[in-house]
Structure 1
Amino acid sequence: MWPEFPIEFLAVGTPVSLQSSNRRARDEWKAIVLAAAEAEVGGDSWAFDTQRLSVTMFYFPQAEMQGDVDNIAKLTIDALAPRIYLDDSLVDRVLVQRFYPEHPATFDSPTEKLLEALGSNEPVLFVKIDEVQLEEVNT
């Protein structure tokens, strides 16, 4: 059975950069992301194979983040293949943003999962996978 969009989950912990020289830390982060995604969608055997996707990541650190926010995206996206999607080439849009505790985030209509991330006392990465929404881009 295919899950309904959007798929939302929380990866608790500090994201690790693909550029990290610590392979063990990279592997552990990928395992955290995959386990969180699988807990949300269940254990049925499926993976998106043609569906064009967007991935939104909101990182809520508990202190100043070391490194650049864009460095957490690749490893997190890679962690979901081939279980959630067969290949990360299906991802057409990525949005990544961090929010610090001293600058509380406000959202017009937060989902339950996003509210859970906002209320966390630990560093947490909110991840939403959705169908890609093609919008007009004015240049």
Structure 2
Amino acid sequence: MEPEFPVEFVVQGTPVSLQAGGKSREDWKLRVKEASYSGLPQMHIWYEGPVAIKIFYFPPGQMIGDIDNIIKPIIDSLSEHIIKDDNQVVRVTAQKFEEGQPASFSDPSEVLTTALTAIRPVTYIHISDNPFGEIQ
């Protein structure tokens, strides 16, 4: 069974940069994959159509490093799992919400609300099979 979109989930911990060492990067990718099961049917096959991915990172203070460096390891963890290949990703939205910065959402989903109220650091990931729809 293909995933039911949108797929949303929360990953506890600090995202690992693309430049991070092999073991820490692989551990982070495994953490992302394990967290994704909360938003997936128990028995699923990967989706082969175009997708959009939103990544919202909530660090415990000022983020160390650049937001763009956390994107690739997250997307790689979804390949051959939720999506077949990372070339299906046609849009990525990534944003950090450091403490003290506004994080206001008009109608947050239950999963996003979980991220907003979780102990930091936490990363919210949203995958849509409608990448050409309205950007929100």
- Shorter-chain TM band: over 0.9
* TM-score, normalised by the number of residues in structure 2: 0.92
- Shift of residue 17, structure 1, vs aligned partner: 0.7
Gaps of 5+ in 1: none
Give % identity: 40
* Contact 2:50 2:131 (C-alpha < 8 Å) held by counterparts: no
Tell me the residue number matched to 2:96: 98
Gaps of 5+ in 2: none
Mapped to 1, the partners of 2:34 and 2:42 lie a distance apart of 10
Runs of 4+ that moved beyond 6 A: none
Mapped to 2, the partners of 1:5 and 1:119 lie a distance apart of 23
- Higher gyration radius (CA): 1
Query: Match of 2:67, SS?
Result: coil
Tell me the residue number matched to 2:55: 57
Q: Which amino acid in structure 1 is aligned with residue 60 of structure 2?
A: Q
Mapped to 1, the partners of 2:4 and 2:42 lie a distance apart of 14
Tell me the residue number matched to 1:7: 7
Aligned residues: 134
Counterparts of residues 1-139 of structure 1 (less than 5 Å):
1-20=1-20, 22-49=21-48, 51-134=49-132
- Shift of residue 63, structure 1, vs aligned partner: 1.3
* TM-score, normalised by the number of residues in structure 1: 0.90
Q: Which amino acid in structure 1 is aligned with residue 124 of structure 2?
A: F
Q: CA RMSD in A?
A: 1.4
Mapped to 2, the partners of 1:124 and 1:91 lie a distance apart of 22
